[in-house]
């Protein structure tokens, strides 16, 4: 059992100072080179090339994966890169709100749902949620991703090596289907002003795979 007084990862002496040191390097090395870009974005506003819906996992950085500059991507991150179905009501809908802003206000021309390997949310969906993830994580995953789990278990056993990878890809497909339940997404797709794309990033190999029209994923050259 861990002693609460023991330093925990991220809470060790100097951890916060390390972040400030990173900021100082940004100001000294990056900011001078990017100052004009930031000033242009501040003056003219943003016009991102894509909305990326990605997992909150700290190991997956969409900006790094796509080698994108500031202003190029409007990024929404949540547990397991899920898009909930269209359901405007009085509840809180962070992902849907960001989606509405990106599509209806910023008028992004494309949406990319980016899944990834070794997703903790998917693992919990298949094998059970830890005690500390019951208030919000379990309802979020069970409420949105039950179909992805069902489709996975129709093909492979939950404890098989293929289940995790299969379900990770199924969450991408599910999110793309849910995107089409938003009327202002569906109308723009029908008009040809918005396109939807799916991808998956393998943090072990650094390989990005793209969802094809046949429903399979293949590595991007």
Assign residue 179 the CATH number of its domain: 3.40.1050.10
- Looking at the structure of the chain, the number of domains it has is 2
Alpha-carbon Rg for the chain in angstroms: 19
Assess whether 173 and 72 both reside in one domain.
Answer: yes
Assess whether 25 and 128 both reside in one domain.
Answer: no
Assess whether 57 and 138 both reside in one domain.
Answer: yes
Position 6 confidence tier, pLDDT thresholds 50, 70, 90:
very low
Closest CA to 166 of 178, 179, 149: 149
Assess whether 131 and 66 both reside in one domain.
Answer: yes
Position 175 confidence tier, pLDDT thresholds 50, 70, 90:
very high
220 is written with which tokens?
Answer: 């991007």
Assess whether 50 and 38 both reside in one domain.
Answer: no
Assess whether 135 and 165 both reside in one domain.
Answer: yes
Assess whether 40 and 138 both reside in one domain.
Answer: no
Helices (H), the chain: 15-25, 31-44, 62-65, 94-100, 120-127, 137-153, 161-179, 183-191
Assess whether 213 and 173 both reside in one domain.
Answer: yes
Residue 105 has pLDDT above 60, yes or no: yes
125-154 pLDDT, tens digit each: 999 999 999 999 999 999 999 999 999 999
Domain containing 163 equals 46-219
């Amino acid at each position: 059992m861990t002693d609460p007084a023991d330093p925990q990862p991220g809470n060790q002496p100097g951890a916060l100072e390390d972040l400030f040191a990173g900021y100082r390097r940004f100001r000294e090395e990056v900011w001078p080179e990017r100052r004009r870009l930031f000033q242009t974005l501040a003056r003219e506003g943003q016009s991102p090339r894509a909305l990326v819906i990605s997992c909150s996992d700290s190991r997956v950085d969409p900006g790094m994966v796509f080698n994108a500059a500031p202003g190029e991507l409007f990024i929404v991150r949540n547990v397991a890169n899920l898009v909930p179905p269209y359901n405007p009501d009085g509840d809180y809908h962070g992902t849907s709100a960001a989606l509405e802003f990106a599509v209806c206000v910023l008028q992004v021309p494309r949406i990319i749902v980016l899944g990834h390997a070794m997703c903790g949310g998917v693992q919990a969906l298949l094998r059970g949620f830890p005690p500390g993830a019951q208030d919000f994580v379990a309802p979020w995953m069970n409420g949105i991703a039950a179909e992805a789990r069902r489709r996975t278990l129709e093909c492979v056993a939950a404890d098989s090596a293929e289940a995790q990878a299969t379900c990770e890809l199924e969450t991408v497909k599910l999110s793309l289907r849910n995107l089409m339940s938003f009327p202002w997404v569906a109308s723009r797709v029908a008009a040809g002003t918005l396109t939807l794309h799916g991808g998956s990033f393998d943090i072990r190999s650094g390989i990005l795979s793209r969802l094809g029209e046949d429903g399979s994923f293949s590595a991007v050259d």
